[in-house]
């Protein structure tokens, strides 16, 4: 019996040795579009401490494991809007701090990284200890375009267009796995040139291909752009992406495009094997739910809680219990950037309706600009006061005003024509008739000479998004004054009160 066992073990050892000699296996753990370091939905979903636990488990299974991020994390976030002891907003500093502790291996750039002004953007790069990749993004330096860089102790290191990892098996046989990247050009800024994402990616692939066994892509593109990239470079077997906030595994020819859910509600685990002799590549992709079944890594969780102490202190200046569940959303409330800035979403309408409720519905309509809604995510399940602060991190009050119908129609048309920007308006009780091309309030056409009561935000009344909507506009007939302790003094309180009731 003992000999048989040894013999079977020996046979297994021989088989495994042969397999190990011929193939090299590696694992990629990927997340994307993560704006919050802690768990959401009352602690039930997400959390970077849980991702780190999975990371360490995968490393113990296979040392050839890398952790990658498909971008969008420096902004937006509630913590990012908070100020330190010097009065400077954190602007993603908390994300860099936690991601450094997690030892990310490769991180791409997304459109939300460029929400920051250049000073804060460069600070975050300099604070990072992980490897960035930037295939098509360049810094605008006067008349020249220069590579993005990380500066430490006065020394600058350019962020590369391509990155290569070396993996080896138990026999010492090695493979080189190269990465290219591509970033969507949806956020114009004066310090970034987006280049040509397709041409730059193709050129980067041509450079990498002769020097590597496999080339993969870590991108932040819309799905149709990822598909076009895949068709342009069919030799790339896997594109690990971001930008969309819902998980997907999309085949394109013989290749795959993968994206996890936003805020680390899920993560993708790609187990990849490469046959050195035949060049055959096998990819096993698994979507893993990041939830309460996964313990939180103690080191990362300690760091997260240190940041939460600062957040909690700020929140309790406004709410007595920021973590109380105030509403359960069975249908996701859509606050994603693209919809909120181009169409009426249930979250946008809910916020506008709560503004009307704050004045006991003694208004004809309510208006908020889509750009004030900063969560770029969907809310579902248990919703807390913290979630509403995430939705509206900059706060501010709301106003009740009287204006002429002519001005109201002008405001509504301005917002309609600004679809795709932050000036697009989310509305309550105002609708546009595409056939007549007329606006209506409560189903009735707006009358130019009639006076309408309107609820709108402080931000809009300052003329930031709609330049003619200011206190000195003669068609703005009255601005009602309320005391500082009135509910309308903080739009977040307004929404929280509405959801509670």
Question: What is the C-alpha separation between 58 and 51, in angstroms, rounded?
Answer: 11
The confidence score (pLDDT) of residue 317 equals 84
Q: What is the mean pLDDT of residues 105-118?
A: 96
The confidence score (pLDDT) of residue 20 equals 66
Q: Same domain, yes or no, for 193 and 149?
A: yes
Q: How would residue 10 be classed by pLDDT, with cut points 50, 70 and 90? A: very low
Of 102, 164, 92, which Cα lies nearest the Cα of 123?
92
Question: What is the C-alpha separation between 74 and 91, in angstroms, rounded?
Answer: 7
C-alpha distance from residue 41 to each of 221, 290, 435, 456 (Å): 27, 12, 42, 29
For residue 485, being part of any structural domain is answered with yes
Q: What is the mean pLDDT of residues 432-456?
A: 96
Number of Cβ within 10 Å of residue 339's Cβ equals 17
Structure-token match 């490393």, residue found:
59
Of 138-142, 149-153, 160-164, least confident by mean pLDDT is 138-142
Assign 326 to helix, strand or coil.
Answer: strand
Strands of 278-389 (E only): list them: 281-289, 325-334, 365-369, 378-384
Q: Same domain, yes or no, for 278 and 408?
A: no
Q: Which residues contact 419 (CB under 8 A, 6 or more apart)?
A: 341, 342, 343
Split into its structural domains, the chain has a count of: 2
Q: What average pLDDT does the structure give for the chain?
A: 93
Please give the structure tokens belonging to residue 230: 């895949």
Q: Same domain, yes or no, for 200 and 143?
A: yes
For residue 100, being part of any structural domain is answered with yes
Q: What is the mean pLDDT of residues 288-296?
A: 98
For residue 316, being part of any structural domain is answered with no
Residue range 392-404, pLDDT digits in tens: 988 899 999 999 9
Q: What is the mean pLDDT of residues 53-67?
A: 98
- Cis before 76? omega within 30: yes
Length reported for the chain? 501
Q: Same domain, yes or no, for 448 and 398?
A: yes
C-alpha distance from residue 442 to each of 180, 429, 430 (Å): 52, 5, 7
The confidence score (pLDDT) of residue 7 equals 28
For residue 312, being part of any structural domain is answered with no
- Checking 54-60 for CB contacts under 8 A at 24+ apart, the result is 54/29, 54/267, 54/269, 54/288, 54/290, 54/294, 55/29, 55/102, 56/297, 58/27, 58/29, 58/269
For residue 221, being part of any structural domain is answered with yes
Please give the structure tokens belonging to residue 423: 């000036």
* Cβ contact 208:164 at 8 Å: yes
Q: Same domain, yes or no, for 361 and 434?
A: yes
* Cβ contact 290:51 at 8 Å: yes
For residue 450, being part of any structural domain is answered with yes
The confidence score (pLDDT) of residue 85 equals 84
Of 293, 226, 291, which Cα lies nearest the Cα of 264?
291
CATH of the domain at 396: 3.90.780.10
Q: How many helices and strands (H and E) does the chain possess?
A: 14, 26
The confidence score (pLDDT) of residue 84 equals 86
- Whether 2 has a pLDDT exceeding 90, the answer reads no
Residue range 209-229, pLDDT digits in tens: 999 999 999 999 999 999 999
CATH of the domain at 78: 3.60.21.10
Q: Same domain, yes or no, for 128 and 185?
A: yes
Query: Which residue, of 240, 265, 289, is where some domain finishes?
Result: 289
Q: Which residues pair with 115 in a beta bridge?
A: none
Q: In degrees rounded to 5, what are phi and psi of residue 177? A: -115, 115
Please give the structure tokens belonging to residue 80: 């990012």
Residue range 65-78, pLDDT digits in tens: 999 999 999 998 88
Please give the structure tokens belonging to residue 204: 């980067």
- Whether 162 has a pLDDT exceeding 60, the answer reads yes
Please give the structure tokens belonging to residue 285: 């992709």
Residue range 224-277, pLDDT digits in tens: 999 999 999 999 999 999 998 889 999 999 999 999 999 999 999 999 999 999
Q: What is the mean pLDDT of residues 47-69?
A: 98
Question: What is the C-alpha separation between 344 and 335, in angstroms, rounded?
Answer: 10
pTM given for the model:
0.84
- Whether 91 has a pLDDT exceeding 90, the answer reads yes
Q: Angle between the 197-208 and 223-232 helix axes, to the nearest 10 degrees? A: 40
For residue 16, being part of any structural domain is answered with no
Q: Same domain, yes or no, for 268 and 346?
A: no
Q: Same domain, yes or no, for 196 and 120?
A: yes
The confidence score (pLDDT) of residue 187 equals 80
Q: What is the distance in angstroms between the CA of the first residue and the CA of the last residue of the chain?
A: 73
The confidence score (pLDDT) of residue 464 equals 84
The confidence score (pLDDT) of residue 209 equals 97
Q: Same domain, yes or no, for 283 and 328?
A: no
Structure-token match 């946008």, residue found:
348
Q: Same domain, yes or no, for 393 and 485?
A: yes
Q: Same domain, yes or no, for 407 and 271?
A: no
Q: Angle between the 93-102 and 118-127 helix axes, to the nearest 10 degrees? A: 20
- Whether 1 has a pLDDT exceeding 70, the answer reads no
C-alpha dihedral, 429 to 430 to 434 to 438, nearest 10°: 130
For residue 333, being part of any structural domain is answered with yes
The confidence score (pLDDT) of residue 23 equals 95
Q: Which residue has the higher pLDDT, 148 or 323?
A: 148
The confidence score (pLDDT) of residue 318 equals 82
Q: Same domain, yes or no, for 185 and 98?
A: yes
* Cβ contact 38:304 at 8 Å: yes
Residue range 337-352, pLDDT digits in tens: 889 999 999 999 999 9
Q: Which residues pair with 282 in a beta bridge?
A: 273
- Whether 163 has a pLDDT exceeding 70, the answer reads yes
Full domain range(s) for residue 395: 321-500
Residue range 353-411, pLDDT digits in tens: 999 999 999 999 999 999 999 888 899 899 999 999 999 988 899 999 999 999 999 99
- Whether 453 has a pLDDT exceeding 80, the answer reads yes
Q: How would residue 428 be classed by pLDDT, with cut points 50, 70 and 90? A: very high
């Amino acid at each position: 019996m003992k000999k048989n066992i040894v013999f079977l073990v020996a046979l297994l050892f021989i088989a495994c040795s042969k397999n190990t000699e011929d193939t090299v296996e590696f694992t990629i753990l990927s997340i994307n579009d993560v704006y919050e370091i802690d768990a959401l939905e009352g602690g039930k979903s997400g959390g970077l401490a849980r991702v780190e636990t999975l990371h360490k488990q995968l490393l113990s299974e296979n040392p050839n494991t890398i952790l990658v991020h498909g971008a969008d994390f420096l902004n937006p976030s509630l913590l990012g809007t908070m100020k330190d002891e010097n009065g400077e907003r954190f602007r993603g500093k908390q994300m860099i701090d936690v991601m450094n502790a997690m030892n990310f291996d490769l991180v791409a750039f997304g459109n939300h990284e460029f929400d920051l002004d250049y000073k804060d953007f460069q600070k975050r790069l300099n604070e990072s200890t992980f490897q960035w990749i930037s295939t098509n993004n360049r810094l605008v330096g006067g008349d020249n375009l220069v590579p993005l860089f990380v500066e430490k102790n006065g020394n600058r290191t350019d962020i590369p267009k391509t990155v290569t990892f070396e993996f080896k098996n138990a026999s010492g046989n090695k493979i080189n796995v190269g990465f290219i990247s591509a970033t969507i050009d949806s956020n114009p800024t004066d310090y970034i040139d987006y280049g040509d994402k397709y041409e730059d990616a193709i050129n980067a692939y041509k450079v990498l291909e002769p020097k590597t066994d496999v080339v993969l892509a870590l991108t932040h593109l819309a799905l149709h752009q990822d598909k076009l990239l895949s068709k342009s470079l069919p030799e790339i077997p896997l594109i690990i992406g971001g930008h969309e906030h819902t998980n997907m595994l999309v085949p394109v020819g013989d290749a795959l495009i993968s994206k996890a859910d936003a805020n680390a509600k899920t993560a993708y685990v790609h187990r990849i094997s490469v046959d050195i002799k035949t060049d055959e590549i096998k990819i096993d992709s698994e979507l893993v739910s990041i939830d309460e079944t996964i313990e939180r890594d103690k080191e990362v969780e300690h760091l997260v809680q240190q940041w939460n102490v600062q957040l909690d202190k700020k929140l309790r200046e406004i709410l007595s219990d920021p973590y109380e569940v105030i509403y359960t959303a069975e249908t996701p409330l859509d606050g994603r950037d693209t919809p909120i800035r181009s169409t009426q979403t249930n979250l946008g309408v809910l916020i506008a309706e709560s503004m009307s409720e704050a004045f006991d519905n003694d208004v004809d309509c309510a208006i908020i600009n889509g750009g004030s809604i900063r969560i770029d995510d969907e809310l579902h399940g248990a919703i807390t006061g913290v979630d509403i602060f995430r939705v509206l991190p900059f706060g501010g009050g709301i106003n009740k005003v009287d204006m002429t119908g002519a001005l109201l129609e002008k405001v509504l048309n301005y917002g309609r024509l600004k679809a795709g920007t932050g000036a697009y308006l989310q509305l309550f009780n105002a609708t546009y008739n595409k056939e007549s091309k007329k606006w209506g309030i409560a189903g009735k056409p707006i009358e130019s000479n009639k006076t309408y009561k309107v609820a709108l935000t402080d931000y809009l009344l300052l003329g930031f998004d709609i330049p003619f909507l200011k206190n000195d506009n003669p068609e703005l007939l009255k601005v009602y004054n309320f005391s500082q302790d009135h509910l309308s003094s903080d739009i977040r309180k307004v929404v929280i009160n509405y959801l509670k009731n």
